[in-house]
Amino acid sequence: MLSLKNLLVTFSIVIFITLASGLGLVAPAEATTVSFQWTGKAGYSAKGLFSYDPPTVPTIVSEKGAGKTNVLQSLVVTFYTPSGAPIGTYDNVVNGVAQGHFFEFNFDPTTQQIVGRVDLGGELAGEIYLKGTVDDELSLFSVDKSGFERIIDRGSDSLAAFRQVSS
């Protein structure tokens, strides 16, 4: 009799949790959002935001290439002229899908630092992107209409990251 009672209690709990989840009574885990920024020696800059789901995060978040990401839910980056005018905004990751073939991003969630190789922004003629190795050499490139890539700024070899606090 006791085991039947335990079975009924367990079954009731499972049904309640299933119904509560379907009705939105159980809150989904909130993604962690981190902002980042970079400023080159000539004054060009990049600012961006990315988000990931903390329960699924490995020791190092490492993403490369187009398609479904391992951890990132979103990543957007905007580039600015030395006077602060925006010159390009790119949604590199949308709903857990990386948009560019050359996209590359590495993040250490423990230290909250962007690490290793990055390739953020555009990749087609007329677009801009930031590429290199954090703490070694980062360069901002412009791709002209013929597809020729030229460096328009470099330096400040770090991408400063700041975790956003939910309100």
Instruction: Give strand pairing partners of 50.
Output: 34, 75
Task: Using the structure block, give the residue that is written with the tokens 């989840």.
Answer: 21
Report the pLDDT value the prediction gives residue 21, as an integer from 0 to 100: 45
Q: pLDDT at residue 22 above 80? A: no
Task: Name the burial class of residue 123, with classes exposed (0-12), middle (13-18) and buried (19+) by CB atoms within 10 angstroms of its CB.
Answer: buried
Q: What percentage of the chain has pLDDT greater than the value 70?
A: 80
Give the count of alpha carbons within 13 A of 154, CB side only: 11
Residue with the bigger pLDDT between 162 and 133: it is 133
Per-residue pLDDT for 91 more than 70?
yes
Eight-class DSSP state of 165:
P
Q: Per-domain residue ranges for the chain?
A: 1-28, 31-163
pLDDT at 51 over 70: yes
